[in-house]
Chain A
Amino acid sequence: MTVQTQPTQARKNRKSMAWEHFLAWFGILLVILLSIFPIWIVLKTALSSSTTLFESGGQLLPSEPTLDNFKRVLGMVTAEEALKAGGSGQSVNFLKSIWNSVIFTGLIVIGQTFFSALAAYAFARLKFPFRDQIFTLFLTAMMIPGIVLFIPNFITIKNLGWLNTMQGLVAPYILMTPFAVFFLRQFFLSIPRETEEAAVLDGASPFMIFWKVVLPMSQGPLATLGILTTIGMWNEFFWPYLIGKDESVYTLPVALQQFQTQTPQGSPDWTGLMSGAFLSIIPVFILLLIMGKRVIESLAFSGGK
């Protein structure tokens, strides 16, 4: 940034600039601290020994720092030892759950993005009867709160015999969500028709145009959608919890339930829960580090979700 002003003016400006800079930085730091603080508390709790946790509720540093809780979560101690450590005696089958989460999230992200793109392209460019009415229906579907769909979806999955299976877990999400279709359609509409017309003159079929021309031009929004879906699905709890009652199909958020209250009047195993929660944040955190810029652009692009 260059400022072209008179020298005297410049000094004044520099002064006010410095002041403004300071304010801006201060504001940013404050927001960073506010957003990091809860994560720090999670980590602090994870590193505390469960017996001393409540004596040091107000401290910022863990009391009697220990890695035991992480070991417990990863199943590196026996149930007896874990009980002695004040845990629920439960270890999450962490690697299995991570794997399930990766498959669950991966399948949905790939499937949903691809199929939604197909539908969006049809709505944006192809002419077929009742197209606009169908699209209106679609938009109406966005207004239905997800929670009311749980019971009919559950019954469908049950009748298909897909309870406790991966296909049952991904079924409601893998084909599309109205949001994804709407979001991509808006983008496809903004692609200049000339490029597609050129492809038509070269004798390309609609699918070829979609595959060879439109998709490569829409990498930005596709990536955006992928990232948003990844974050959403990685943290998705209720559906996997309803469908996957068997340990073999637990996703991470469901597996973390093991640290809940173990007896009627007991209290949750906070240290174990926080270790698990912290470990489950890491993959998404890495994704954000790599793709952070994209996410910010895309959120600005989509106007936030």
Chain B
Amino acid sequence: MKKFVTLSSILALTSALSTASAATTVDYWLWDSAQLPAYQQCAKDFTKLNPDINIKITQKGWDDYWTGITTGFVAGTAPDVFTNHLSKYPEFAANGQIVDFAPWIKRDSVKTNIYLEGLYSLWGRDGKQYGLPKDWDTVAIIYNKDMLKKAGISEKTLNALKWNPKDGGSFEKVIAQLTLDQNGNNGLSKNFDKTKVKQYGLLNPYDPNPYGQTGWSWLAVSNGFKYNDGLYATKYYYDDPRLAETIQWLTDLSLKKGFLIPYKDIRGLGANSQFVAGKGAMTTDGSWMIKWYIDNAKFDVGFALLPVGPTGKRTSMFNGLADSIWVGSKKKEEAWKWVKYLGSPACENVVGKYGAVFPAVNSGVNLALATHKKNGADVSAFTKTAKAKGSTFLFPITDNASQINSIMTTALENVFLGKTPAAEALKEANQKVNALFK
């Protein structure tokens, strides 16, 4: 029975995994490891100001993160404060899982006009406020400078492209010109062999989801499409023919013409990895990835404005993150202090200096631009779009996000894989989506 005795003693030992500390510890979660160093710095500064509060930061990958948050709500193990996303927060708010800041904002007279326009209201509903903005992002073209030089396309040309869904405009011409087959013919040549593509003109991330943030939203909206009629609308317009022709144009560009990497090749690896591996000349991505591209590409990376669409505008989604507090937190006051600090210029300037994302306050944005400039990167394509009037549209926030997500993902994947025509798939998906609100 010796074995058995040691067994119970081991059990006793392992259960003694408690840590003792005098100060209150606030648990804070985020998903983007690129932002971790910046927020660790913020936490250090915060604890200097508030010696009685420690911040314990946990970072988990995107999928794991949301599983952890949602199971944590139920199991009572969710963090006190966590980075929230616009596609997720309405459901948390509807289920009463996150704290409404409105009374506290009033009580502590927190300045809410310091943020870039539109960011603050994204996080509110019916007079309630579920987050304080901490950063924002827009989308731009990311390109391989060497490939562009070889093709003889100037950066000026690239920043002044026009697109339409009929013939693709000058945008499609440039994509074709940047596509090379194994014999060195580009997409404009008669001898171009689309079965043996060596270098794609565009590596679109496709984004088969209800938002298409980096994949198709900037094309569709510049073609006059809109998702719905604004915050918490109860009707979507996914059956708009202007969306269908956009999606179809993308699909044909890949499956019929071979200028765009096929969706099946993007699925597992992601467009970003393929881009840094030199598989294509351009990709489109959000500003939170700037640092990643600069760190991971062995060639010079450039950033250019998105093309102008049939509406005469170039458009990009304008999206932002905020921090929320879990209703079940036992340290709400300390958590609120931390959230306030995260949304204050003090922390946002630190985040700006690290250059991982664009902070939600203007002073931080300028610091971020300066940091990138110092590293030799001109990322003004992202900020120009954010500041141009009528250029940005907001992330579509409504109820039923997770169901809409599964409906739209299935529909769009089928289109991108060439199984169903866009018009048909989107019409059907839109009916299903709108039925959710009835």
Report how far A166 CA is from B76 CA in the complex, Å: 18
Report how far A210 CA is from B372 CA in the complex, Å: 73
Report how far A90 CA is from B4 CA in the complex, Å: 38
CB-CB nearest in chain B for A115: B4
Asked if B17 CB lies within 8 Å of chain A CBs, one says yes
Contact stretch, chosen from A30-38, A77-85, A127-135, A197-205: A77-85
**Which size bracket describes the interface of B in this complex?**
35 or more
Residue among A164, A165, A247 with the highest chain B CB neighbour number at 10 A: A165
Asked if B277 and A88 make an inter-chain contact with CB atoms under 8 angstroms apart, the answer reads no
Residue numbers in B under 8 Å from A265 (CB-CB): 205, 207, 213-214, 270-272, 285-286, 289
Asked if A158 and B34 make an inter-chain contact with CB atoms under 8 angstroms apart, the answer reads no
Asked if B112 CB lies within 8 Å of chain A CBs, one says no
* Interface positions of B from 157 to 203, Cβ below 8 Å from A: none
B218 to chain A, nearest CB (A): 14
Asked if B353 CB lies within 8 Å of chain A CBs, one says no
Contact stretch, chosen from B58-66, B222-230, B324-332: B58-66
Bitwise, A229-264 to B at CB < 8 A (1) or not (0) is 000000000000010011111000000011111111
Asked if B77 CB lies within 8 Å of chain A CBs, one says yes
* Interface positions of B from 276 to 299, Cβ below 8 Å from A: 276-279, 285-286, 288-289, 291-292, 295-298
Asked if A261 and B269 make an inter-chain contact with CB atoms under 8 angstroms apart, the answer reads no
Residue numbers in B under 8 Å from A29 (CB-CB): none
Asked if A154 and B36 make an inter-chain contact with CB atoms under 8 angstroms apart, the answer reads no
Contact stretch, chosen from A7-15, A18-26, A46-54, A278-286: A46-54
Asked if A164 and B77 make an inter-chain contact with CB atoms under 8 angstroms apart, the answer reads yes
Known: A90-B33, A107-B11, A166-B15. A266 touches B76 (CB 8 A): no
Asked if A89 CB lies within 8 Å of chain B CBs, one says yes
Majority-rule SS of B interface residues: helix
Asked if A167 and B205 make an inter-chain contact with CB atoms under 8 angstroms apart, the answer reads no
Residue numbers in B under 8 Å from A248 (CB-CB): 17
Residue numbers in A under 8 Å from B37 (CB-CB): 79-80, 83, 89
Report how far A86 CA is from B297 CA in the complex, Å: 9
Residue numbers in B under 8 Å from A80 (CB-CB): 37
Asked if A79 and B36 make an inter-chain contact with CB atoms under 8 angstroms apart, the answer reads yes
Report how far A11 CA is from B384 CA in the complex, Å: 87
Asked if B36 and A166 make an inter-chain contact with CB atoms under 8 angstroms apart, the answer reads no
Asked if B289 and A266 make an inter-chain contact with CB atoms under 8 angstroms apart, the answer reads yes
Report how far A245 CA is from B207 CA in the complex, Å: 29
Asked if B300 CB lies within 8 Å of chain A CBs, one says no
Known: A88-B33, A262-B32, A265-B285. A54 touches B15 (CB 8 A): no
Report how far A206 CA is from B48 CA in the complex, Å: 67
Asked if B31 CB lies within 8 Å of chain A CBs, one says yes
Among A50, A55, A166, which residue has its beta carbon within 8 angstroms of that of B11?
A: A166
CB-CB nearest in chain A for B67: A241
Asked if B64 and A110 make an inter-chain contact with CB atoms under 8 angstroms apart, the answer reads no
Asked if A267 CB lies within 8 Å of chain B CBs, one says yes
Asked if B63 and A262 make an inter-chain contact with CB atoms under 8 angstroms apart, the answer reads no
Residue numbers in A under 8 Å from B279 (CB-CB): 54
A-B contact count (CB 8 A): 127
Asked if B96 CB lies within 8 Å of chain A CBs, one says no
Asked if B14 and A166 make an inter-chain contact with CB atoms under 8 angstroms apart, the answer reads yes
A3 to chain B, nearest CB (A): 51
**Which size bracket describes the interface of A in this complex?**
35 or more
Residue numbers in A under 8 Å from B298 (CB-CB): 51-52
Asked if B68 and A245 make an inter-chain contact with CB atoms under 8 angstroms apart, the answer reads yes
Asked if A249 and B34 make an inter-chain contact with CB atoms under 8 angstroms apart, the answer reads no
Residue numbers in A under 8 Å from B271 (CB-CB): 265
Residue numbers in B under 8 Å from A191 (CB-CB): none
Asked if A54 and B274 make an inter-chain contact with CB atoms under 8 angstroms apart, the answer reads yes
CB-CB nearest in chain A for B4: A114
Asked if B270 and A167 make an inter-chain contact with CB atoms under 8 angstroms apart, the answer reads no
Residue numbers in A under 8 Å from B63 (CB-CB): 260-261
Residue numbers in B under 8 Å from A178 (CB-CB): none
Asked if B64 and A263 make an inter-chain contact with CB atoms under 8 angstroms apart, the answer reads no
A293 to chain B, nearest CB (A): 24
Asked if B72 CB lies within 8 Å of chain A CBs, one says yes
Asked if B77 and A54 make an inter-chain contact with CB atoms under 8 angstroms apart, the answer reads no
Known: A262-B34, A265-B289. A51 touches B76 (CB 8 A): no
Asked if A86 and B296 make an inter-chain contact with CB atoms under 8 angstroms apart, the answer reads yes
A206 to chain B, nearest CB (A): 15
Asked if B273 CB lies within 8 Å of chain A CBs, one says yes
Known: A55-B277, A167-B15, A267-B269. A107 touches B62 (CB 8 A): no
CB-CB nearest in chain A for B296: A86
Residue numbers in B under 8 Å from A110 (CB-CB): 3, 7
Known: A55-B277, A88-B33, A242-B71. A263 touches B15 (CB 8 A): no
Residue among B37, B61, B292 with the highest chain A CB neighbour number at 10 A: B61
Asked if A263 and B14 make an inter-chain contact with CB atoms under 8 angstroms apart, the answer reads no
Asked if A141 CB lies within 8 Å of chain B CBs, one says no
Asked if A163 CB lies within 8 Å of chain B CBs, one says yes
Asked if A107 and B10 make an inter-chain contact with CB atoms under 8 angstroms apart, the answer reads yes
Asked if A53 and B75 make an inter-chain contact with CB atoms under 8 angstroms apart, the answer reads no
Asked if B277 and A167 make an inter-chain contact with CB atoms under 8 angstroms apart, the answer reads no
Asked if A103 CB lies within 8 Å of chain B CBs, one says yes
Residue numbers in B under 8 Å from A263 (CB-CB): 31-32, 34, 62, 288-289, 292
Residue numbers in B under 8 Å from A55 (CB-CB): 277-278
CB-CB nearest in chain A for B72: A245
Bitwise, A81-125 to B at CB < 8 A (1) or not (0) is 001101011100000000000010001001100100000000000
Asked if A83 and B60 make an inter-chain contact with CB atoms under 8 angstroms apart, the answer reads no
Known: A50-B296, A86-B295, A111-B7. A262 touches B15 (CB 8 A): no
Asked if B61 and A260 make an inter-chain contact with CB atoms under 8 angstroms apart, the answer reads yes
CB-CB nearest in chain B for A259: B61
Asked if A262 and B11 make an inter-chain contact with CB atoms under 8 angstroms apart, the answer reads no
CB-CB nearest in chain A for B40: A79
Residue numbers in B under 8 Å from A50 (CB-CB): 296
A222 to chain B, nearest CB (A): 12
* Interface positions of B from 256 to 281, Cβ below 8 Å from A: 269-274, 276-279
Asked if B296 and A261 make an inter-chain contact with CB atoms under 8 angstroms apart, the answer reads no
* Interface positions of B from 56 to 89, Cβ below 8 Å from A: 58-64, 68, 71-72, 75-77, 85
Residue numbers in B under 8 Å from A260 (CB-CB): 60-64
A-B contacts besides A54-B279, A263-B31, 5 pairs, CB < 8 Å: A83-B37, A88-B61, A154-B75, A258-B61, A267-B269
What are 29 A-B interface contacts by the 8 Å CB criterion?
A: A51-B298, A53-B277, A54-B273, A54-B274, A54-B277, A54-B279, A79-B33, A84-B295, A86-B276, A88-B33, A88-B61, A90-B59, A107-B10, A107-B11, A158-B75, A164-B77, A165-B15, A166-B14, A166-B17, A245-B68, A248-B17, A261-B61, A261-B62, A263-B32, A263-B289, A264-B213, A265-B286, A265-B289, A266-B270
